[in-house]
Amino acid sequence: MTELTPYPRAASQREEVAGAEEEADIRYSGWWRRAGALLIDTLVVAVIVGAAIGLAVAVSAVNDVAGGIAFVVAIILVIAAPIFYSIYWTGKKPGQTLGKKALGIHVRNVEQDRAIGYGSSAGRYFITVAFGIFYVPLLLDYLWPLWDKQHQAFHDKVASSIVVRV
């Protein structure tokens, strides 16, 4: 019976060095940048939603029927604005919401330097919403990048995404 030759040591060392160099090129976003971007994005969505509610209140003062319609539209906007904002801007190239753009970070695919796409962006968003139903998983999700090697939160791992500095 023939024995297989062991993998040459020099080749394995070259692969380790190449992998380390590739990893060194990636500048992961720190936790504070991510938290700041989330705060800015929350404020942007809050302004949009607040304006819609304010408009609904103003319209209802003038006309009850139009005001009722305006409140229904405002409620739909309260639900849809954060979903659309996050999924659209994160899934689109270069993977930046306004908050991420302001802080010089973007979301990209783990394996390739490309946008994650709308499907992964939706998965990333809705897993965070699911964690939000229970306080502890959401807290762990947001804190996980503090000690993760690639600074990934759980929602990043689910979507195969990383947040990197531009």
Domain spans, the chain: 29-165
Phi, psi of 151 (to 5 degrees): 55, 35
Q: Please tell me the predicted confidence (pLDDT) of residue 11.
A: 58
* CA separation for the pair 37, 41 (Å, rounded): 6
Residue (of 93, 87, 97) closest to 112 by Cα position: 93
pLDDT in tens, 24-69: 578 999 999 999 999 999 999 999 999 988 888 888 888 888 888 8
b or e along 116-155 (b: 16 or more beta carbons within 10 Å of the residue's beta carbon)? bbeebbbbbbbbbeebeeeeeebeebbebbeebeebbbbb
pLDDT in tens, 93-149: 888 999 999 999 999 999 888 889 999 999 999 999 999 998 899 999 999 999 999
Give residue 121's identity as a one-letter amino acid code. S
Q: At what angle do helices 117-133 and 64-91 cross, to 10 degrees?
A: 120
Q: Please tell me the predicted confidence (pLDDT) of residue 80.
A: 93
